[in-house]
Amino acid sequence: MQHLKPIATMSEGEPKPLADNDEHAETVSVLIALSRSLGNETVTLIVGKKRKEFTVHKQLLCDSCGYFRGAFDGSFKEGQEGKIYLVEESEGAVAIFVEWLYQSRIRPTIHETYLQDLFKLYVMAEKIILDELADQVMDAIFLCFSDDTVYDYLTTEMANYMWENTQKKSPMRTFIMEALGHIYYRFIGSKDTEEEKIAYLQELWPICKNHPDFFAAFFANFRGQDYYHCGPAKAYLNSPDGFCRFHCHEKGYECAAIKDRIWFQIQPEWDPEIKKSDFFHDLPDEKK
């Protein structure tokens, strides 16, 4: 194996390294740039009621949004101790967040627990005002819900939680309302008995009772409409600005999500393990 001389010992008359050495130098250059962008200092995220710890690069975390920048770069306790408590957040949601920090993407995976974590992560993204994360979470949710069977994972308990913990004009509220409407019309057009259809409507009662604004918008928006054949996810994935309608970014922003690479190259991964999971299992009791 040929060994390169250190650059410092090469004279001006010596030949340049071979092509593979150029590739090595480029790799080293990328790693150096990555090291500079990450920095050397790490901080700890202490998450959920079980106090799960996640260690991340401080600079990377602070560059993501003002919430963490304000916590760690100032004179607050978090900056002095190098740790922050996120006790109201979900372990699974923060795990996806950390993966997003380092990879700049969110994997669309169809598995009940993972989908629940995506919804919880969206709530966190709104809370820390990280629109880029919220938009990518919505993209992943849409790609998963492009399979019509995934709507069965959306329970009224989940919907109620999302409505209570998102902003009044949140795109997530629009999606929740339209997704439940799609489920409703699937039942109306199905071969289920009247008793079964009524039973489903009764499942909607808690969210309607707790949120009159949902009740009014839900029935006003879906009167006479038929979403039986195509749910909101697939409908808007196939439209030119489908993603952007459910995004937080300002109008006129060139949204990467509507590019061909999203719909044609990133397909949801299926996880065969299906089980009934408690949506609130890793959230504080007062969130239930």
Q: How far apart are CA 183 and CA 180, in angstroms?
A: 5
128, 94 in Cβ contact below 8 A?
A: no
Angle (CA) 30-36-40 rounded to 5° is 125
Please report the DSSP string for 113-149 in residue order.
HHHHHHHHHHHHHHHTT-HHHHHHHHHHHHHHHTSGG
Provide CB contacts within 8 A for 221, sequence distance 6+: 177, 178, 181
| pLDDT given for residue 83 in this prediction | 95
| pLDDT given for residue 37 in this prediction | 67
184, 228 in Cβ contact below 8 A?
A: no
pTM, entire model: 0.77
| pLDDT given for residue 260 in this prediction | 47
Domain boundaries, the chain: 42-88, 91-270
Does 227 score more than 60 pLDDT? no
- Lateral strand order in the sheet of 52-57: 52-57, 42-47, 83-86
Q: How does pLDDT run across 154-192, given as a tens digit for each residue?
A: 888 899 999 999 999 999 998 998 888 888 777 666 666
**Both structure tokens of 144:** 């998963």
